[in-house]
Amino acid sequence: MKSSTPIRSEAEIIAAVIAGDTQLYHELIRPHERSVYMMALSYMKSEADAEDVAQEAFIKAFRNLPTFRGEAKFSTWLISITLNEARNRLRRQSVVRMQSLDEPPDEDGAVSPALLRDWREIPSEAVEREEVRTLIKKAVETLPEIYRQVFLLRDVEELDVNETAQTLSISISNVKVRLHRARMMLQKELAPQLKTINRAPKRRWLPWS
C-alpha cells in the first residue's frame, strides 16, 4: 500500500523504533498512556503504585519491542505487559488478597439490580461534578477484582469480548458473565445514589443564567 501522508501508522513507528529511531517511542505510546494507567490502577488501588506499574510497563514494552510480532494489537500487547507487571508487584508486596484470575465465577452469584420505577437520564455533563466522579470511581474501585478488570477492559477501554478474554486468559463466556455481574453491581450501587444527585436543585430558571 502506498502512503502519501506524512502520518505514520503504528506499525511503521514500531518498525522505526526497532530500527534505532528510539525517540519515536515517545510518540508511539502517547495514545496508550491512559489505558495502561487505568489497567494498572485496577490492580494496584493506590495511584502512586499504579503510576509506578505503568512506567515500568512502558519501559519493559520498550525493551521487548523487537519481540512484538503484530499478531495482537499493540494496545492489547501493552495491556498484557501491564497486567503482568502489576501481578508481579503484588506478589512481591505479598499482598495475598488477590483472587486467581482463572477462578470460575460462582454459578449462584446472580446479582439483583436496584429496582426503580423510572429513570431520568443523567447527562454526561454531570461527570464534571466532583461528587459524581467520586461516586462512580468509588463504585468501580470496590467491585471485586475479577469483575472490575473485565468491566474496565470492556466498558472503559472498549476492548471487544475476544480481546478481553485473551488479555485476561479467561473464556469468552466468563467475560460475558463477569461483565454482566459487574454492570449489575454498578447499577445496584450507583442508580439510587445518582438518582438523588440528579434531583439536585437546578439553577437554570434564574433569569440571568
Partner 1 sequence: MVIECKHVWNHISEYLDGALPEETRDTVQRHLEHCEICSAILDSTRNIIILTADDRVFELPAGFCERLHARIDLELMAT
Residues that bind partner 1 (CB under 8 A): 22-23, 25-26, 29, 33-34, 37-38, 41, 47, 51, 54-55, 58-59, 62-63, 110, 112-119, 121-122, 124, 126-128, 132-133, 136-137, 140, 155-156, 158, 176, 179-180, 183-184, 186-187, 190-191, 194-195
To partner 1, the closest distance from the beta carbon of 179 in angstroms equals 6
CB 9 within 8 A of CB 2: no
Nearer to partner 1, 53 or 90 (CB): 53
Nearer to partner 1, 96 or 189 (CB): 189
Q: What is the rounded CA–CA span in Å between residue 1 and residue 14? A: 17
Alpha helices, DSSP H only, in 19-129?
Answer: 24-29, 33-44, 47-64, 74-92
To partner 1, the closest distance from the beta carbon of 104 in angstroms equals 18
Nearer to partner 1, 90 or 153 (CB): 153
Among candidate residues 82, 23, 27, 10, the one with its CA nearest the CA of residue 52: 82
Angstrom distances, CA of residue 129 to CA of 7, 18, 120, 136, 141? 37, 44, 18, 11, 18
Nearer to partner 1, 124 or 209 (CB): 124
Q: Which three cell numbers stand for residue 150?
A: 473485565
To partner 1, the closest distance from the beta carbon of 158 in angstroms equals 7
In one-letter notation, the amino acid at residue 82 is: T
Nearer to partner 1, 55 or 75 (CB): 55
To partner 1, the closest distance from the beta carbon of 122 in angstroms equals 6
